[in-house]
């Protein structure tokens, strides 16, 4: 009985939120959504993350997942609408809810969790072209490196009656003109980390934390002994 209580139940929570209109040029615009993930599952190397994706990227992801899991009936995406209005709160909310339901269903399918494209889609700043190349081993970085590359701070939405919790996360936006997908109202943002040689320095600097206890210990160790 005691051992049973010590075992933590695995969970994967996903939110799609914070729709933002992005302009390509004077005539063309699209909406990106933020996808926030919080989990303790061993299937995910990163336990919290936030990225931005657009509807067309969801369509791409579903097709790739279907190609790799032919025997599984994948959940449906909200249907495309040629008359979709970027200023219609009702249409945006409906699509956002449909995207979240799609991801929730996908994340409850164990076979799909083995697809590296899904992990890169949810937890990396890569475009879909780079996701495909990385999954095929055609990039100089691995799937794990791509996921761990971006660091930031995000406050996640509450689940049920829980209070909001602050979490360190990866938050990024694709530089290409593709719409990102996300969920709910945005509670925080972070800037993406560029893929260059300064990444390791910025990564280590991001996690340097100074606490009052650490400062006290430092001052005591550097001061001469009075004894």
In this prediction, residue 156 has a pLDDT band, given cuts at 50, 70 and 90, of low
Q: Of 18-22, 106-110, 149-153, give the lowest mean pLDDT range.
A: 149-153
In a domain, 145, yes or no: no
Q: What is the pLDDT of residues 53-110, one digit of tens each?
A: 999 999 999 999 999 888 888 999 999 988 898 889 999 999 999 999 999 999 999 9
What's the number of domains the chain is made of?
1
CATH of residue 76's domain is 3.30.1520.10
Give the range of the structural domain holding residue 26, as residue numbers without chain letter.
12-112
In a domain, 103, yes or no: yes
In a domain, 132, yes or no: no
Q: Of 90-104, 150-164, 183-197, give the lowest mean pLDDT range.
A: 183-197
In a domain, 221, yes or no: no
Q: Tell me if the pTM is above 0.75.
A: no
In a domain, 159, yes or no: no
In a domain, 31, yes or no: yes
Please answer whether residues 15 and 50 qualify as being in contact, where contact means their C-beta atoms are separated by less than 8 angstroms.
no
* Over residues 179-206, mean pLDDT: 36
Give the pLDDT score at 150: 64
Question: Angle at Cα 50 formed by Cα 187 and Cα 73, nearest 5°?
Answer: 120
In a domain, 76, yes or no: yes
In a domain, 216, yes or no: no
């Amino acid at each position: 009985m005691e051992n049973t209580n010590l075992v933590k139940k695995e969970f994967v929570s996903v939110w799609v939120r914070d729709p933002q209109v992005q302009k390509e040029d004077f005539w063309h615009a699209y909406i990106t959504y933020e996808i926030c993930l919080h989990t303790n599952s061993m299937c995910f190397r990163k336990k919290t993350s936030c990225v931005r994706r657009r509807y067309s990227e969801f369509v791409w992801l579903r097709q790739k997942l279907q190609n790799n899991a032919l025997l599984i009936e994948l959940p449906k995406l909200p249907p495309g609408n040629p008359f979709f209005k970027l200023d219609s709160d009702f249409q945006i909310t409906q699509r956002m809810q449909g995207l979240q339901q799609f991801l929730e269903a996908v994340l409850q399918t164990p076979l799909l969790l083995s697809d590296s494209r899904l992990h890169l889609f949810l937890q990396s700043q890569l475009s879909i072209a780079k996701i495909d190349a990385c999954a095929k081993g055609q990039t100089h970085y691995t799937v794990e490196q791509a996921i761990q590359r971006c660091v930031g701070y995000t406050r996640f939405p509450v689940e049920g009656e829980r209070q909001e919790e602050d979490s360190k996360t990866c938050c990024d936006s694709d530089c290409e003109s593709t719409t990102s997908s996300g969920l709910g109202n945005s509670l925080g943002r972070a800037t993406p980390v560029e893929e260059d040689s300064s990444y390791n320095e910025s990564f280590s600097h991001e996690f340097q934390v100074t606490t009052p206890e650490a400062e006290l210990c430092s001052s005591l160790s550097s001061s001469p002994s009075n004894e």
